[in-house]
Structure 1
Amino acid sequence: MDNLHSPQLFIDKDGQWYADSVLMIRKEIITLFASHLKKDGQDKYGIDWKSQWYPVSVEDAPFFVQSLNEEAGQLMIQLYDGRRFPLPPGNIIMKNNIPYISLFWQLDTKLSRPSYNELCKNLIERDDHYFIQYGENEWLVEEKV
């Protein structure tokens, strides 16, 4: 029993999960893995499950926002893994014209083009800066060099 195979896990730039180079399609397994994803002190990712650490290689960001909508007066994001969260406070960071937010760790979540375009419907300019404004909340959009 000690020789169980642990698959090589990988998350691509669009948030898709792979096990041994095969695309994972079972959403409940992807959600389970994503909900147990942790980051260690050396910026490495892994699934922490039953006192075991299973490394996960990440091409870009470990989480990917597929869609965004309004729910009960607040903006909600839906991740590729199926989980939904309120859009977190903090800045929207543009790196190479790609938008990122910080959900659990710094810049751990990439926004899809459609979700960012939806956010930009609430874009305002003030004092030479751009903000996404929704109700009483604002998110500064800033370029990271």
Structure 2
Amino acid sequence: MNSTLVIIPTYNEAGNIVRIIEKIHQVAPDFSILVVDDNSSDGTATAVQELMATDRRVNLMQRAGKLGLGTAYLAGFKWALERDFEFVFEMDADFSHNPDHLPAFMEAAKDADLVLGSRYIPGGGVVNWSFIRRVISRGGGI
């Protein structure tokens, strides 16, 4: 059985994808990663393929077009279930989800069926977000 997978949906994240993967592996070296790329035009998939050449923990699902965040996560979860991963995390490539929290989530998962992180609980928060982005994010959680 595979243990833990981090799903990262991407669309034009070439500037972030290598850094986020490196950071995840810095704090959680045994985690596998699946990048679900929506046909990025900036070389995101190519950057992931270059990492895959030397790192078996990194995987890529290339999709035919910009199909959206929700369907990217669903495709990633399906991929994880087909490969029998025990734990699955989802993170954005733009560092709006901090990889440093992964070990704490993994520790919490030992005694829980579900571990949920939120920007809107005590101890949560957002950094460098505009007022408009905070309003949109808050509205998306309703």
- Scaled to the shorter chain, the TM-score interval is under 0.3
- Greater fraction strand: 1
TM-score, normalised to structure 1's length? 0.23
Larger radius of gyration: 1
Q: Which has the higher contact order (CA 8 A, sep 6+)?
A: 2
| TM-score normalised by length of structure 2 | 0.23
Greater share of helix residues, 1 or 2? 2
